[in-house]
Amino acid sequence: MTEQTRTTTTTTAQHEAPRIVTRTGPGKFVTDTGAVFTREILLVLRDPFTLIFSLLQPLIFLGLFGPLLTGTFGGGFGGPSGSAGASTADTLQWFVPGVIVMISLFGTSMTGSNLLYEIMTGSYERVLATPLDRSAILVGRALKEFAPLLVQGLIIAAVCIPFGFTFHVLPALAGLVLLGVFGVGVGALSHALALASKNREWLFWGVQQSLLFPLLILSGMMLPLEAGPSWMQTAAKFNPLTYMVDAERVLFGGTFADTAVLWGAVAAAATCAVGLLVGIRATRKAV
C-alpha cells in the first residue's frame, strides 16, 4: 500500500468515524439526574426490607402521639368536638401531615451519611471522575432519598383512612410535590455537610442531630406551638420547616387557596435554591 493510499484511507476513516455528541444545558441535567437517581434507587429496591422497616417509626408516632393529642386537646385543633370518633379524625387530620413531613426530613437529611460511606470506600471519587453534572449528582441523590418516602407517606395516609382521616387526592399530591422540592434542598445541604465532615463522621452526626430535633419541635409538627411560650412562637417564624408543616396541613385538608400554601412554596423554593448553591460549591471544591 502506497503512502498516498494510506493517507486516503486514514482520511476516509476519520470522516466516517461517529461523532460523540455531548449534551449541554437542561437536557444534560435531566439526563444526568435520571442516571444518578436510577443508580441510587436500584440499591434501595434490592433491599426492600429496609424500606418496610422504616415504616415502623412513623406508625409508632401515630400510635402514641395520636391518642395523647386526642386526650389532651379534646375536640381537636379547630374541628368539631362532638364524639370520640370526630375527635380522633380531627387529630389525625392535623397530625398525619406533620408525620409525613417528619419522615421526609429524616430521609433527606440522611443523604450525607450515605455519601460518607461512599467516600470511605472510594466509590464517590469514581462518580466525580465521570462527566456527570455536579448539580445532577445532588438532585439525583436527594430524589432517591425522597422517592421511597412518597410511598411511605401514601401508605400512612391509607392506614389512617379507616380511623377517620380524609384523603384529598389532588391537594395531597401537590403537597407531596412541594415537599419534594424542599427535600432536594435539605438533601443538598446534607451532602455539603458530609463533604465538610470528610474523615470526621462524628462532626456530621453532631451537626445533623443538633439541628434536626430543634427544627422539628419549633415547626409545631408534633405539638401545637400555640400552647408554648412566646419565645418559641417567635423562633418558629424563622424556621422554614414551620411554613412547610402549615402548608402540608392545609393541602392535606383539601384546600389550595390559602396563604399558608404560598408561604410553604416560598420556603420550599428558598431551601432548594440555597441547598443547591451550597451543595454544588462544596462538590466542586471536593474535586
Local confidence band at 221 (pLDDT 50, 70, 90 cut-offs): confident
pTM of the entire predicted model: 0.79
Q: How far apart are CA 207 and CA 121, in angstroms?
A: 23
pLDDT value at 242 more than 90? yes
The DSSP-derived string for 60-106 is HHHHHHHHHHHHHHTT-TTS--SSHHHHHHHHHHHHHHHHHHHHHHH
pLDDT at 87: 65
Q: How far apart are CA 96 and CA 79, in angstroms?
A: 15
HSE-CB for 55 with a 13 A CA cutoff? 15
Per residue in 40-84, pLDDT (tens digit) is 888 777 776 766 776 777 777 777 776 666 655 544 444 433 444
Residue 55, phi then psi, degrees to nearest 5 = -75, -20
The DSSP-derived string for 228-282 is S-HHHHHHHTT-HHHHHHHHHHHHHTT--SSHHHHHHHHHHHHHHHHHHHHHHHH
pLDDT at 152: 80
Integer CA distances (angstroms), 72 to 45, 65, 195, 206, in order? 41, 10, 44, 33
Q: Which residue has the cell 403537597?
A: 175
Q: How far apart are CA 119 and CA 198, in angstroms?
A: 8
pLDDT at 120: 84
Q: Which residue has the cell 432517591?
A: 144
Average pLDDT, stretch 139-148? 77
What the block records as the C-alpha cell of 259 is: 396563604
pLDDT at 266: 96
Local confidence band at 108 (pLDDT 50, 70, 90 cut-offs): confident
Residues of the chain with pLDDT > 90, as a percent, come to 18
Find the angle CA(277)-CA(38)-CA(180) to the nearest 5 degrees: 45
Q: Which residues does 179 contact at the CB level (< 8 Å), separation at least 6?
A: 100, 101, 104, 146, 244, 248, 268
Contact between 173 and 96 under an 8 Å Cβ cutoff? The reply is: no
